Chains A and B, each alone.
Chain A
């Protein structure tokens, strides 16, 4: 890929154009859209049991309530909507399908049991109280270990047990090479289940076209095209009659990058009743039924030489699928993702993994910012510290000795992923320097106790998968995941530019950054570019905005597409100016011949020619119009990287962890808009602080969800956030268009292991072994207490 050298707007902070309407309260999020006449409001009856047979549903009282249009059960919808499942084609994956509304059996608390159709949301809620469901409760399993235990209830009987997915990988001569190490260390790490926690709950509204059999679905999704394909598949309607629009989206974080049963239901009901249908979830439903994430058990074994270099790594990973596979990724997303991302910036070439995903009676799990990476780095970065402690080598030095060296790029890692470029060692060194690592270590007492608190430093050196293309999805079994994204760039007759992108913004600032890119490539002002996305009827097909792909794939296609249009602009302008098109330059809204000063045309003049609005005519063989379409399928992946270094103080009195210093070094290749990248790093890091210190979805042994509200599911507030010291290194990719890498997830991936390691370092003098997040005061305190008791016992 030829590097682009002449960027003008790419790389500059341009303030966001989205802000004005968002701050004036004019943005239209789903529930802000004008409501069509005759709108039906939905409410779902949710299962109160984690596992139960549905014996009967009596909706007669609900149906009698004035304002209630109908009440439907799963049985009533069987003919309208096929059983719902993702398309995964990979060895070890077993198909599990779900009725979108439960028919005979419920398998998690919150599963839909019936749907109420009413004239107002208040009445729909009233009707919920009147639906009587007779359940026969059955034993449930909520945890991974319970689900795989001998004699555990089998949740989907056709599987024979609760495994939905198993995969294994092993490099050549694994056992022999692993045995070459001087010692083996092993550990088991766990993380809590968490939620995306976007402030806008989900919802959707389907609208039948009054004259034709067409439907528009408004849904705050990150993947409008994939939603449309899934609905067409499951409702047996042509994709051509369905339009999916993502309005303003109030945060996505991966949670809104799934296809949900309710999206199928509202369209099916709009079809059935010929009326617009709307559903908006509340916060409790959001936490009960939107995909959860994490909840992993990672057993890791590393073989090391005396000098701290890794000889081999073995990972046994178990993930909790929940009751059904999510659509479109299934649980393989986090399982395979985590195992394949674990090598990170390290050079080891001997690796084996066994992963499995277990069905449990809990809400399905799926994508959330970082996906498998916070787990993977919790394990591998945790082991780096353990190697250091065991061998008496500084943990930063252990990392140095194992990190891919600058001269080794492009480097192919142990699972075959190519790291085209990266700043693994420089970012580590910069992070250490920012926090004053050497001085801190030199002053740090052996027991880590300073002024009554245990103080320690944690490091996470991470890589961040981004911009996954078709090959990257195929290798993981995602049969219907396109991988490419697309754009259409139109120079309108007045010379202004419209950019249609197959992505869907949820706050990432696409309307500004994609305008910047097109303006940069076409030599116009940002203000002259309008960006349209999130609408399947306006943009060409594409994959969507998740897994740090917006800037890489969306940005890449806008670069390519703008350049394609640029070629046509030059051809027509060359004809008009009687100049060699190759020589012409697009700058300041004009097409100029640099070798003939003063000879130039405005873009408008060229556009008027293209649209036949003057008498000039077009060159022979040239078509009218001034636009191009581009489908960009990036390489398998491109790896961003970075380093988090965190200093914490742990109060032994109450177990509270205070973050005292926090340094982030971040390398996402070519930066499009520094301010927006900084915002992504801040946001992701703080979500990581949440996962590390407080957030956890709690199920009891019976599968009851114990904290489906924001009083009990704790997310960070402004008082939980330290000042972040942030530095950028810019190492452009040589594989992607424009050198762009993704930026949205590394913050989370870096934060969780760095904080866990910092607490581990602080408490290492006490012999506390930190293996689990979140590190709430109660858990830290208990571990300190236990370590002290054991110490006294030994003394």
Chain B
């Protein structure tokens, strides 16, 4: 929840405004409703990001399209080399899924950081992605995993990358008649190291910054592929490409890790808010990059 501080004090409503309620039974019906109501409508899945905004009347959609009965969107399955996660997959399902644990361990280790259990029981993976909070965990995990975002509308389907999907803080690339139907994440290569860490002003919740990383190593112990993305590094979740370039093909020794951290702090272009100023966020991302990479050293050695 970033954005202009103005709404914080201007808005003081705590009951949602009136809306028309629709409950489609499948994605076709949902898309038809979106086609009909467009920008006046919002899709309700778990509601854990949307409803707080509605309670505070930061958002007052005229139409709510509740997709919780669209059973065709509730799946988490292996499709070739990727894991497909439908729009109705709850975060808690992904958290406890053996499939996710074995094929997308990065998501498994990040999930306990997402909200709290009561929010994960209802909040969906796709809902959190669509919320596009640059300080949320799942967008950064999806970005690190080169996720493909499957977007549906009555006009058809299209797929975009994380870079395309996350436009700016709390803004995604969906057109008014579109919804995020699925996110597809390529399975992580066996033996790759995964790490996720964040920093907050208290032990749990509302991160100031975070880093998700997935690093593959060659038989020579050198880093063959590095994917790192940061929370709080800008107005969208962002891959730390220069850091990735710096470590690919190299051994993760202490000097390289220090250099990677320094590079991350330079690459990050964070905003300041009540929780931390921009300068700290940049340094925190640097420190988190060092932390995740130090953890990777273990993964490299284990091979």
Q: Do A and B bind each other?
A: yes
Contacts of B277 in A (CB 8 A): 778
A110 near B9 with CB under 8 A, answer yes
Contacts of A781 in B (CB 8 A): 280, 283-284
> Which of A119-127, A312-320, A614-622 is the contact stretch?
A119-127
Contacts of A126 in B (CB 8 A): 17-18
Q: Mark B1-32, 1 if CB is under 8 A from A, else 0.
A: 10001101111111101100000000000000
B274 CB–A CB distance under 8 Å: yes
B18, B203, B279, most chain A CB atoms within 10 A:
B203
Say how far A420's CB is from chain B's closest CB, in angstroms: 40
Contacts of B130 in A (CB 8 A): none
Say how far A77's CB is from chain B's closest CB, in angstroms: 20
Contacts of B279 in A (CB 8 A): 782
Q: Which of A693-724 contact B (CB under 8 A)?
A: 693-694, 698, 700, 704-709, 711-712, 714, 716-717, 719-720
Q: Give B204's nearest chain A residue, CB to CB.
A: A719
B56 near A284 with CB under 8 A, answer yes
Q: Give A656's nearest chain B residue, CB to CB.
A: B199
Q: Which of B14, B57, B276, B287 is A776 in contact with, Cβ under 8 Å? A: B276
Complex alpha-carbon distance, A59 and B283, angstroms: 50
Contacts of B14 in A (CB 8 A): 125, 282-284
Say how far A438's CB is from chain B's closest CB, in angstroms: 30
Q: Give B1's nearest chain A residue, CB to CB.
A: A711
Complex alpha-carbon distance, A722 and B21, angstroms: 46
Complex alpha-carbon distance, A622 and B263, angstroms: 90
B103 CB–A CB distance under 8 Å: no
Q: Give A110's nearest chain B residue, CB to CB.
A: B9
B8, B17, B276, most chain A CB atoms within 10 A:
B8
Q: Which of B202, B203, B274 is A707 in contact with, Cβ under 8 Å? A: B274
A717 near B12 with CB under 8 A, answer no
Say how far B111's CB is from chain A's closest CB, in angstroms: 16
Knowing A48-B9, A126-B17 touch, does A776 contact B201 (C-beta < 8 A)?
yes
A188 CB–B CB distance under 8 Å: no
B275 CB–A CB distance under 8 Å: yes
Complex alpha-carbon distance, A128 and B284, angstroms: 41
Q: Which of B10, B15, B208, B274 is A122 in contact with, Cβ under 8 Å? A: B15
Contacts of A128 in B (CB 8 A): 12-13
B37 CB–A CB distance under 8 Å: no
Knowing A122-B15, A654-B284, A714-B206 touch, does A109 contact B9 (C-beta < 8 A)?
yes
A705 near B8 with CB under 8 A, answer yes
A288 CB–B CB distance under 8 Å: yes
Say how far B205's CB is from chain A's closest CB, in angstroms: 7
Q: Give A705's nearest chain B residue, CB to CB.
A: B9
Interface size on B, residues (CB 8 A): 36
Contacts of B12 in A (CB 8 A): 46, 110, 128, 282, 284-285, 288
A173 CB–B CB distance under 8 Å: no
A578 CB–B CB distance under 8 Å: no
B291 CB–A CB distance under 8 Å: yes
Q: Mark B258-280, 1 if CB is under 8 A from A, else 0.
A: 00000000000000011111011
B8 near A720 with CB under 8 A, answer no
Q: Mark A642-669, 1 if CB is under 8 A from B, else 0.
A: 0000000000011110000000000000
Complex alpha-carbon distance, A48 and B274, angstroms: 19
Complex alpha-carbon distance, A499 and B271, angstroms: 58
Complex alpha-carbon distance, A171 and B114, angstroms: 58
A596 CB–B CB distance under 8 Å: no
Knowing A122-B15, A129-B57, A700-B5 touch, does A717 contact B205 (C-beta < 8 A)?
yes
Complex alpha-carbon distance, A441 and B199, angstroms: 30
Q: Which of B30-73 contact A (CB under 8 A)?
A: 56-57
Say how far B187's CB is from chain A's closest CB, in angstroms: 32
A683 CB–B CB distance under 8 Å: no
B276 near A778 with CB under 8 A, answer yes
Knowing A283-B14, A285-B12, A693-B202 touch, does A778 contact B274 (C-beta < 8 A)?
no
Q: Which of B9, B199, B202, B203 is A654 in contact with, Cβ under 8 Å? A: B199
Complex alpha-carbon distance, A700 and B287, angstroms: 29
Contacts of B5 in A (CB 8 A): 700, 704, 706
Say how far B2's CB is from chain A's closest CB, in angstroms: 10
Q: Give A697's nearest chain B residue, CB to CB.
A: B274
B202 near A717 with CB under 8 A, answer yes
Q: Which of A120-149 contact B (CB under 8 A)?
A: 121-122, 125-126, 128-129
Contacts of B184 in A (CB 8 A): none
Complex alpha-carbon distance, A694 and B206, angstroms: 12
23 A–B pairs (Cβ distance < 8 Å), ordered by A: A126-B17, A126-B18, A128-B13, A285-B12, A654-B283, A654-B287, A693-B202, A698-B274, A700-B5, A704-B9, A706-B9, A707-B8, A707-B274, A711-B1, A714-B202, A717-B202, A776-B275, A777-B199, A778-B275, A778-B277, A778-B280, A781-B283, A781-B284
* 9 extra A-B contacts, CB within 8 A, seeds A716-B202, A777-B276: A125-B15, A125-B57, A129-B13, A284-B11, A708-B9, A712-B274, A712-B275, A714-B202, A781-B283
A residues sitting closer than 8 Å to B (CB atoms) are: 46, 48, 109-110, 121-122, 125-126, 128-129, 282-285, 288, 653-656, 693-694, 698, 700, 704-709, 711-712, 714, 716-717, 719-720, 776-778, 781-782, 785
B residues sitting closer than 8 Å to A (CB atoms) are: 1, 5-6, 8-15, 17-18, 56-57, 199, 201-206, 208, 273-277, 279-280, 283-284, 287-288, 290-291
